């Protein structure tokens, strides 16, 4: 059995761009199953520790999804919202060139927080290697994450968790924290299956309606005004209220560590499906588990994006990609829930064990 301390990290790469006073980090955690795969996030608060935790989650995610990638992650410490497109391109291409010695053999990039198919195009253009990143535009033979692959996987995980909990999917009440690429597609797919998405939130607050919120209308409002809370379909509340609503499923789908020691005791959801990476620390998961909350760990629920990356890497079609996500997350959820039913152990412990078993087979 591989112990946690033996997983890695294999490389911690820290680079500095003096022109912009910007630090960048790439943690290549483990390459037992293949080159480390993980996206690049751009936030003013990203740290080396955060990138390491995310890279470790990618190691486990890729192993559990049974795809031939290792785990890695990158972060650029800057505020892209204060950059022009030209400035953002400059930073992305600086970072790509700095990582060039590791690309393909040890690391393959992808989109993450504040990066999209456009940034992945800039990345591969800088190093003149189309295979150096996934999530690229279709014109570069990519399967961009804007197709909704991560959100689709989270929706599948929620569907399976509801069935396990004997909660009918028709009319199940869901709250989604974060209305970016992941949260919007979770809303889209769950709504198509008859789920009531009663609350969504973004950086400006929470929008709530006990009768459900219409996906298409909210997307139009978001595009027109920049925030879903401006939509008249619901009541505007404080952002933190999203975690305290009496719902069947809570989907954290934005930034890390949003469920904390301060608000965990006010969480009322029966199920938490972690659309975001590391939305809470492990001791909080244990506390909520003892209260009877079913928690689907991040690297189980949000593996759709990296499964899509593998599909792109292998040249699969969009239709085949979605089918592969359904198959692989369905299998991961079945294995997790079967062991949970048998032992009632903390789901993350079970998922870690299942992933580590697959690492030892390679």
Separation CA 189–CA 179 (nearest Å): 14
Return all residues near 161 (Cβ < 8 A) that are at least 6 apart: 249, 271, 273, 294, 296, 333, 337
- Token pair listed for 311: 């599909």
- Token pair listed for 206: 């929470």
Contact between residue 256 and residue 282 where contact means Cβ atoms under 8 Å apart: no
C-alpha 78, offset from chain centre: 20
Rg of the chain over all Cα atoms, to the nearest angstrom: 19
Dihedral sign for Cα atoms in the order 346, 349, 351, 357: negative
C-alpha 156, offset from chain centre: 14
Separation CA 66–CA 87 (nearest Å): 38
Catalytic residue list: 73
Give which of 286, 247, 287 is closest to 268, Cα–Cα: 247
């Amino acid at each position: 059995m591989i112990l946690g301390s033996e997983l890695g990290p294999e490389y911690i790469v820290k680079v500095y761009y003096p022109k912009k006073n910007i630090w960048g980090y790439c943690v290549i955690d483990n390459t037992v199953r293949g080159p480390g795969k993980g996206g690049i996030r751009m936030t003013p608060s990203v740290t080396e520790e955060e990138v390491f935790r995310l890279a470790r989650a990618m190691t486990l995610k890729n192993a559990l999804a049974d795809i031939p990638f290792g785990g890695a992650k990158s972060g650029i410490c800057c505020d892209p919202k204060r950059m022009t497109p030209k400035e953002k391109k400059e930073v992305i291409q600086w970072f790509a060139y700095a990582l060039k010695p590791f690309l393909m053999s040890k690391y393959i990039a992808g989109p993450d927080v504040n990066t999209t198919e456009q940034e992945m195009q800039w990345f591969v253009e800088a190093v003149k290697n189309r295979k150096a990143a996934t999530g690229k535009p279709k014109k570069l033979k990519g399967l961009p994450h804007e197709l909704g692959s991560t959100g689709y996987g989270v929706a599948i995980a929620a569907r399976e968790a509801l069935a396990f909990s004997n909660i009918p999917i028709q009319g199940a009440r869901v709250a989604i924290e974060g209305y970016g690429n992941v949260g919007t597609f979770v809303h889209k797919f769950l709504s198509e299956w008859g789920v009531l998405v009663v609350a969504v939130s973004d950086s400006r607050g929470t929008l709530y309606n006990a009768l459900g919120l219409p996906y298409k209308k909210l997307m139009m409002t978001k595009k027109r005004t920049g925030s879903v809370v401006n939509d008249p379909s619901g009541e505007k509340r404080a952002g933190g209220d999203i975690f305290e609503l009496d719902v069947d499923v809570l989907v954290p789908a934005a930034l890390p560590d949003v469920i904390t020691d301060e608000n965990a005791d006010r969480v009322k959801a029966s199920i938490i499906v972690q659309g975001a990476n590391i939305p809470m620390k492990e001791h909080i998961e244990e506390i909520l588990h003892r209260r009877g909350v079913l928690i689907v760990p991040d690297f189980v629920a949000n593996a759709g994006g990296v499964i899509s990356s593998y599909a792109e890497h292998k040249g699969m079609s969009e239709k085949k990609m979605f089918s592969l996500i359904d198959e692989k997350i369905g299998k991961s959820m079945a294995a997790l829930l079967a062991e949970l039913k048998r032992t009632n152990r903390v789901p993350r412990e079970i998922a870690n064990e299942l992933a580590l078993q697959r690492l030892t087979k390679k």
